[in-house]
Structure 1
Amino acid sequence: MNYLDEFKKFISSHHLSTGIRLSLGAVVPSLIFQHYGILGDLIAFPLGTLLIGSTDNPGPYHRRRNALIIAIITCFSVACITGLLRHIHFMVFAEIIIFGMFFSLAGVYGNRINSIGLISLLVFVFNIDDHLSGEMVLRTASIFALGGIWYFFLFMVLEKLLPYKLIQQLLGENFIELGKLLFIKARYYFAKPDYDDLFGRLVHEQVLLRENHENLREILFKTREFVTESTNTSRTLMLMFLDSIDLFERILNSQQNYENLHKAFDHSQVLRLFGTYITWLAAEIQQIGIAVQSGFPSRPKHDLDEAFNKCQSVFERMRAEQMTHDNIEDYMMLRQILNSLQDITERVKKLHLATTYDVSLSADYKPNVSVENFIPKQEYHPRILLDNLSLKSSHFRHAVRVTLALLIGYTASLFFDLGHGYWILLTIVTIMKPAFSITKQRNLYRIGGTMLGVVSGFLILYFIKDGTALFGLMMIAMILAYTFLKTNYFIASTSITLYVILSLNFLNPHHITDVLQDRALDTLIGSIIAYLVSSYVLPVWEHSQINQYISEALVANRQYFDIVAARFTGKVLDINELKIHRKNAIIALANLSDNFEKMLSEPKRQQHNMEEYHQFVATSHMLTSYIASLSTYAQTIGYEQFSFEFELMIRQIDRQFTAVLDVLDGKISGNLEIAREALPQNQKLLALLATRKKEIKELGVEKSAQSPARKMLSDLRTINGLFELISTITIDEIKILQKIRTTKV
């Protein structure tokens, strides 16, 4: 996108609205308190607003509401307990063990509860010395809770005034990320594509889309207005979301053998033309995303009909002039790309219209999905917590690491005069995550961001003396901090450091030099402790979990394949069940990709069989893509007269899936006969293809184009080719896993 579009995307995003909501929610009361000269006594109020507000993750209204209430009660209790016992050092150590373990283990109940646990630990850290409340513990805890209640009031009011705003923002971001995905796919059509780089970018983008889809599903399918009490707006938003899932599948199933494509057509301009048109489609999808976020109708940036017709006319001219009976299959591949582009074009045009919220577009729409099967499941039974009280649990190991790091950090603050010693614990709590790769990244961002924030704060205070200007810069830093807190931790860390320094300068300007030194030193100490504990205390390396993700991806892909393939044996296709298996396959694929990405950030000594795992992740992406392509045909055609031939192929592929899982589980070692068996040939298709080639050779391309067998042959050749590709991929996965097992042995 151009810079104007990037600016529009940022302005209308839910991240910025969150940053503004939190910042104004904290600053407006602070200005009122400052006016009456009581801000110093009520500083816990804006702190409560910021911390409680930070637990407000996207989701259904009732879950957000309940989470805020639980956060207020929990944080008030922690503040009271910590404040009353903070002068008894052995009790503080006990609190660190109890709170550190319990609130870190809360992550077993999902991100929302994990956020409450994190904020509760931060409240514990803020109250661990008397800088905040002095001797008025209960009074300060109550003021803190009132700050949280103030945010809760803002939340309730905004939800009533703008009930659809969050879903519009998330849905808009979904389309923007889809556009980015299509931009990446377009690069495959230009000269000399970097396949490894493009694959890495595709993997990352699909992980982001998976997270976005989970948030959207939870909101849409758990919110009554979208399911039972539908309005035109809610129906349109639901329609656009489901269309976006179908569009994602269409983009996913447009996977081609790009190396063969370039060998066949690099001498012409057709691939470059297709690539350019795909970038136009990507820009249109992102334009739709910006429109959905902002709530205004989108306007097409290009004439898609004219552009597509140009692509089609170039293809038809090339086919008429250059296609022979020898290269007919290359042109079939090109035809399928053109068909895919036509489908995406029609979907984009439909989505442009949907942004107008025209009643006629959604009047007759009814979701044909089983809602319960699409809602992310999260149980809150106590047994889940008890089941994780084991060193086999990655959550338990993380809780032990956090607790030990806090104990070390607190001990260091007792034995050394560090001024703001609680900042050490603050750094530890915010940096440490269950995955080493994320902890490492946040560690670097925290150190770099803090140092940059300290230097920036020093320069700003040195050169700028005007209070209004300093206040304006503090507000900007504050908004940026909470805007980028969950998307770019480096910017967030820099901004948090800057606004903390500027705010402390307003409260106590005579000690700002000490604050600058303490902030830098305490952050560095906390970062070192967090890194060492994460590296050497019960670490959970990603390679120890990858087999589980591989197994889940294989099972999900097999189930997806079986329901799609059954259509070609004459069985009726259940669209609802198809969508469920498609969702499961995409989620499993994204989880596997995310696991592999984290492996890349771990120490080299923990990166085992990286080349083979990279190959497996790549083949898994291709496998899901080919099954998705097959599902497109399963939903429109059947060709039951070929069911016997297809059934033989399906049985063979199912045996290959079984073999892959057996190798993964260690049930089979050595070479497998199944990996040598060729897929049964479709004799009827071969006869049809021979007839078509004969027609072209005898009648020429133009006259033979009228043959009724042409369309059938094109479809069947593609379907048969997809079965062959799926078989080839599963055999490749058998060989990859065999190689991994051999290396481990």
Structure 2
Amino acid sequence: MNYLDEFKKFISSHYLSTGVRLTLGAVIPSLIFQHYGILGDMIAFPLGTLLIGGTDNPGPYHRRRNSLIIAIFTCFAVACITGYLRHIHFVIFLEIIVFGMFFSLVGVYGNRVNSIGLISLLVFVFNIDDHLSGDLVFRTAAIFAAGGIWYFVLFMILQKLLPYKLIQQLLGENFAELGKLLSIKAGYYFANPDYDELFNKMIHQQVILRENHENLREILFKTREIVTESTNKSRVLMLMFLDSIDLFERILNSQQNYTNLHRAFDHTKVLRLFGTYITWLSDEIKQIGLAIQSGFPSHSRHDLDEAFNKCQRAFETMREHKMTHDNMEDFIMLRQILNSLQDVTERIKKLHRATTYDADVSKGYKLNVEAESFIPKQEYHPRILLDNLSLKSSHFRHAVRVTIGLLIGYIISLFLEVGHGYWILLTIVVILKPAFSITKQRNVQRIGGTLVGVFSGFLLLYLINDGTALFIIMMLAMILAYSFLKINYFVASTTITLYVILSFNFLNPQQITAVLQDRVVDTVVGSMIAYVISSYVLPVWEHTQINQYIRDALNANRKYFDVVAAKFTGKQLDINELKMLRKDAIIAMANLSDNFQKMLSEPKRQQLNMEEYHQFVATSHMLTSYIASLSTYAQTLEYSEFSVEFEVMIRQIDRQIKAATDIIEGKSENSFEIARESLPQNMKLVELLAKRKKEIKEMGIEKADQSPARKMLSDLKTINGLFELISTITIDEIKILQKIKPAKT
């Protein structure tokens, strides 16, 4: 790992921007209030800024604006209701049930609404006792809302001054993650690769990229100025995003049979040379990402033309001396890798030029996709909420868990003699998540982070007496807390605890020892409640949902395959439809991978059929990759004279994918017969291959290379090989699913 590049990436990321924005938004008014001696009375103002700002997730401007307005009004209402009724205990229990259920269940409307629900619950928790507002309920709620309005004004100003900054940060991060994906790919070319480890890294990286792509699609295609009233900068940003999607597909479709590759060429240096060059290309992509984030032009770190030429010369020399009619197919495979490297190289050179935002780069720009087809859809109809009022809904189960957790936490806080009992409820709210694996991870990180934060705070207060130094440390802790909140919860929990302790020290230094004790006790109690609730109260285990993800992946791959394969039967290829189905297949694959990764963190007793599911995730990944490889040829080549042979193969593969889908749906009558059927042989290709081998044997490589059949054979052999691989993979999937007894979903 290049730590300097990672540091640069973090410095120019939207995570740090968010941390700085929230910290300054809270600290600047706090300093003003402190100057006039009213900070104690106005403490709800910076709290409102921090909490309302917490709902500001990346997305289109109008959605961010609307969510902030809704959050301000919702939190104001919750603060008033809770504050006025908090002295009536049975009403608090009623509020816990109503607020706990409603604000957890609104997660059905997506992450943005879910964040508003979470913050509303936190506001409820903060106002359960009178530590914040005393008897001045309306005044405190109004001050809290004013803090939220202040953040809203700050957001509007920054959006006006830097309209493309968030897009640049997300796009730069996308390229950085894309570079990591390619560096993982390079690992397949070095000696003795660990295929399982590389595969796990690949699917993890694809999950990250899927989330980035979804955010970028929503922002780019929902921003009117980019889609219809585009400036040169917005056009270049859109082009770079579309190029990144194509580059992602190119990396995916470079899937090879690496076992055969190493068997054929491990004794040479060519694979290591290719691996080194791919590592260089990944560095270039990361460099492009850093340049986009920072706003400065990128410059190539390596002479890519010279490096590629070196790879090409090595291939041609080895081909000239070692290729025979027996190993010709291995060299065809190596040639395809070289062609792929050339394509990626040209794309990277183009992207380097794009970071200059030169007008020539976007000349002739035209958005050749239907934007609406690529925007993540999110409905807000009340029917969706009503449909989830069932124990079959994972969202409803989560809402029940949160509500029961809050009820237990509140009861314990009444009997536990600690001064900040609401911290127990706060811990429960932030730790409990719909997935057990995330709750478990957050539990460990929360407890560990709190202990480290308390120890660090105690040490700092013991060693440092200078108020200015402590204030600077507190600000740095705040920035780190809100910067790492979504990327490393342990760091976030540590720094949140640290800045909370330091802020209490400034406000009430006499009570700091009690605060340290309360923080540890309340966090441990809240974490224990959250763990027990997530384990035993209506848990939703991932194995009960994985069949649906398998079904989605099979259906998405089948549609993707059908539209790509149709080109080889003589039909026209709709590029817009191809890109949309490619997006759906990649999303389905990433969702399946993500689901499986969560299963790994669950209790052993809930990890059913893990070996088979792991095999299916691997085959699904390869299937999508092989279809993506096939789509590359479908967009550039046309061999209509082979359409009859290809049509027979396509029908067979389609039947195989359908048979796999039938198994997961409990209909497996003819799956055993289909799994035993072999793919029909392409006799025309067999004849062409035999002819080519004969030419090489009789004429030698140099003269045989001048044959017009050479290019056609290379393409057709690869295309036919992809059909065979797709068929083999789908048969493997049928056999894997036959071993798994489908659970009802």
Shorter-chain TM-score above 0.5: yes
- For residues 563 and 712 of structure 1, the distance between their equivalents in structure 2, rounded to whole angstroms, comes to 23
SS of corresponding position for 2:434: coil
- For residues 216 and 173 of structure 1, the distance between their equivalents in structure 2, rounded to whole angstroms, comes to 11
- Describe the superposition over 1:247-300 as per-residue Cα deviations: whole angstroms up to 9, x where unpaired: 000000011111111111000010000000000000000000000000110010
- For residues 706 and 659 of structure 1, the distance between their equivalents in structure 2, rounded to whole angstroms, comes to 45
The answer on 1:607 being equivalent to 2:607 is: yes
Residue in 2 that maps onto 1:390? 390
- For residues 353 and 698 of structure 2, the distance between their equivalents in structure 1, rounded to whole angstroms, comes to 47
Residue in 1 that maps onto 2:379? 379
The answer on 1:630 being equivalent to 2:620 is: no
Judge which range, 362-371 or 159-168, deviates more: 362-371
Residue in 2 that maps onto 1:353? 353
Q: Is the 8 A contact 2:388 2:395 kept in 1?
A: yes
Q: Is the 8 A contact 2:547 2:742 kept in 1?
A: no
- For residues 371 and 138 of structure 1, the distance between their equivalents in structure 2, rounded to whole angstroms, comes to 46
Judge which range, 412-421 or 476-485, deviates more: 412-421
Structure 1 letter corresponding to 2:33: F
Q: Is the 8 A contact 2:183 2:279 kept in 1?
A: yes
- For residues 601 and 315 of structure 1, the distance between their equivalents in structure 2, rounded to whole angstroms, comes to 44
- For residues 63 and 78 of structure 2, the distance between their equivalents in structure 1, rounded to whole angstroms, comes to 22
- For residues 475 and 518 of structure 1, the distance between their equivalents in structure 2, rounded to whole angstroms, comes to 22
Q: Is the 8 A contact 1:96 1:403 kept in 2?
A: yes
- For residues 439 and 10 of structure 2, the distance between their equivalents in structure 1, rounded to whole angstroms, comes to 27
Deviation at 1:416, TM superposition (A): 1.8
The answer on 1:716 being equivalent to 2:720 is: no
Q: Is the 8 A contact 1:564 1:627 kept in 2?
A: yes
- For residues 444 and 634 of structure 1, the distance between their equivalents in structure 2, rounded to whole angstroms, comes to 49
Residue in 1 that maps onto 2:561? 561
Flag the 1:133–1:357 CA change in 2: closer, same or farther, 3 A.
same
Residue in 1 that maps onto 2:187? 187
- For residues 406 and 301 of structure 1, the distance between their equivalents in structure 2, rounded to whole angstroms, comes to 54
Residue in 2 that maps onto 1:741? 741
The answer on 1:530 being equivalent to 2:530 is: yes
- For residues 4 and 389 of structure 1, the distance between their equivalents in structure 2, rounded to whole angstroms, comes to 50
Residue in 2 that maps onto 1:204? 204
Deviation at 1:741, TM superposition (A): 2.1
Structure 2 letter corresponding to 1:340: S
Equivalent runs, 1:482-497 vs 2, <5 Å: 482-497=482-497
Q: Is the 8 A contact 1:174 1:209 kept in 2?
A: yes
- For residues 470 and 228 of structure 1, the distance between their equivalents in structure 2, rounded to whole angstroms, comes to 50
- Describe the superposition over 1:606-660 as per-residue Cα deviations: whole angstroms up to 9, x where unpaired: 0000000000000000000000000000000010000000000000001101110
Residue in 2 that maps onto 1:85? 85
Q: Is the 8 A contact 1:171 1:216 kept in 2?
A: yes
The answer on 1:320 being equivalent to 2:320 is: yes
- For residues 133 and 208 of structure 2, the distance between their equivalents in structure 1, rounded to whole angstroms, comes to 41
Q: Is the 8 A contact 1:55 1:116 kept in 2?
A: yes
Equivalent runs, 1:334-353 vs 2, <5 Å: 334-353=334-353
The answer on 1:370 being equivalent to 2:370 is: yes
- For residues 671 and 381 of structure 2, the distance between their equivalents in structure 1, rounded to whole angstroms, comes to 45
Task: Tell me the number of residue pairs that the alignment of Structure 1 and Structure 2 aligns.
Answer: 744
- Describe the superposition over 1:407-463 as per-residue Cα deviations: whole angstroms up to 9, x where unpaired: 000000111212100000000000000000000000100000000000011111011
- For residues 554 and 366 of structure 2, the distance between their equivalents in structure 1, rounded to whole angstroms, comes to 33
SS of corresponding position for 2:189: coil
The answer on 1:108 being equivalent to 2:108 is: yes
Residue in 2 that maps onto 1:167? 167
- For residues 179 and 77 of structure 2, the distance between their equivalents in structure 1, rounded to whole angstroms, comes to 46
SS of corresponding position for 2:424: helix
- For residues 671 and 288 of structure 1, the distance between their equivalents in structure 2, rounded to whole angstroms, comes to 48
* Unmatched tracts of structure 1, length 5 or more: none
Residue in 1 that maps onto 2:9? 9
Deviation at 1:7, TM superposition (A): 1.8
Consecutive aligned runs of 4 or more in structure 1 exceeding 4 Å deviation: none
Equivalent runs, 1:236-247 vs 2, <5 Å: 236-247=236-247
Equivalent runs, 1:581-600 vs 2, <5 Å: 581-600=581-600
Q: Is the 8 A contact 1:220 1:226 kept in 2?
A: yes
Deviation at 1:4, TM superposition (A): 2.4
SS of corresponding position for 1:635: helix
Q: Is the 8 A contact 1:670 1:738 kept in 2?
A: no
Equivalent runs, 1:398-477 vs 2, <5 Å: 398-477=398-477
Deviation at 1:671, TM superposition (A): 6.2
Residue in 2 that maps onto 1:503? 503
- For residues 604 and 3 of structure 2, the distance between their equivalents in structure 1, rounded to whole angstroms, comes to 38
Residue in 1 that maps onto 2:257? 257
Residue in 2 that maps onto 1:73? 73
The answer on 1:694 being equivalent to 2:714 is: no
- For residues 551 and 215 of structure 1, the distance between their equivalents in structure 2, rounded to whole angstroms, comes to 25
Structure 1 letter corresponding to 2:478: M
Residue in 2 that maps onto 1:287? 287
Structure 1 letter corresponding to 2:553: A
The answer on 1:125 being equivalent to 2:88 is: no
- For residues 130 and 379 of structure 1, the distance between their equivalents in structure 2, rounded to whole angstroms, comes to 38
- For residues 676 and 307 of structure 1, the distance between their equivalents in structure 2, rounded to whole angstroms, comes to 46
Flag the 1:151–1:742 CA change in 2: closer, same or farther, 3 A.
closer
Q: Is the 8 A contact 1:83 1:137 kept in 2?
A: yes
SS of corresponding position for 2:700: helix
Residue in 2 that maps onto 1:680? 680
Residue in 2 that maps onto 1:667? 667
Q: CA RMSD in A?
A: 0.9
* Unmatched tracts of structure 2, length 5 or more: none
Flag the 1:671–1:2 CA change in 2: closer, same or farther, 3 A.
closer
Q: Is the 8 A contact 2:171 2:241 kept in 1?
A: yes
Residue in 2 that maps onto 1:224? 224
Q: Is the 8 A contact 1:48 1:146 kept in 2?
A: yes
- For residues 375 and 727 of structure 1, the distance between their equivalents in structure 2, rounded to whole angstroms, comes to 32
SS of corresponding position for 2:702: helix
- For residues 714 and 467 of structure 2, the distance between their equivalents in structure 1, rounded to whole angstroms, comes to 73
- For residues 423 and 629 of structure 1, the distance between their equivalents in structure 2, rounded to whole angstroms, comes to 53
TM-score (norm 1): 0.99
Q: Is the 8 A contact 2:60 2:218 kept in 1?
A: yes
- For residues 131 and 673 of structure 1, the distance between their equivalents in structure 2, rounded to whole angstroms, comes to 71
- For residues 682 and 13 of structure 1, the distance between their equivalents in structure 2, rounded to whole angstroms, comes to 52
- Describe the superposition over 1:459-491 as per-residue Cα deviations: whole angstroms up to 9, x where unpaired: 110111111110111011100000000110000
Q: Is the 8 A contact 2:671 2:734 kept in 1?
A: no
Structure 2 letter corresponding to 1:109: Y
Structure 2 letter corresponding to 1:489: Y
Q: Is the 8 A contact 1:105 1:396 kept in 2?
A: yes
Residue in 2 that maps onto 1:141? 141
- For residues 76 and 602 of structure 2, the distance between their equivalents in structure 1, rounded to whole angstroms, comes to 38
- For residues 307 and 363 of structure 2, the distance between their equivalents in structure 1, rounded to whole angstroms, comes to 31
Q: Is the 8 A contact 1:297 1:356 kept in 2?
A: yes
Flag the 1:412–1:742 CA change in 2: closer, same or farther, 3 A.
closer
Structure 2 letter corresponding to 1:145: A
Q: Is the 8 A contact 1:425 1:526 kept in 2?
A: yes
- Describe the superposition over 1:328-371 as per-residue Cα deviations: whole angstroms up to 9, x where unpaired: 00000000000000000000000000000011111211110011
SS of corresponding position for 1:362: coil
Q: Is the 8 A contact 1:168 1:293 kept in 2?
A: yes
Deviation at 1:742, TM superposition (A): 8.8
SS of corresponding position for 2:360: helix
- Describe the superposition over 1:23-68 as per-residue Cα deviations: whole angstroms up to 9, x where unpaired: 0000011011111110000000000000000000000000000000
State the identity as a percent: 80
Deviation at 1:670, TM superposition (A): 8.3
Q: Is the 8 A contact 1:669 1:738 kept in 2?
A: no
- Describe the superposition over 1:547-579 as per-residue Cα deviations: whole angstroms up to 9, x where unpaired: 000000000000000000000000010000000
- For residues 364 and 319 of structure 2, the distance between their equivalents in structure 1, rounded to whole angstroms, comes to 42
- For residues 409 and 669 of structure 1, the distance between their equivalents in structure 2, rounded to whole angstroms, comes to 52
- For residues 532 and 714 of structure 2, the distance between their equivalents in structure 1, rounded to whole angstroms, comes to 60
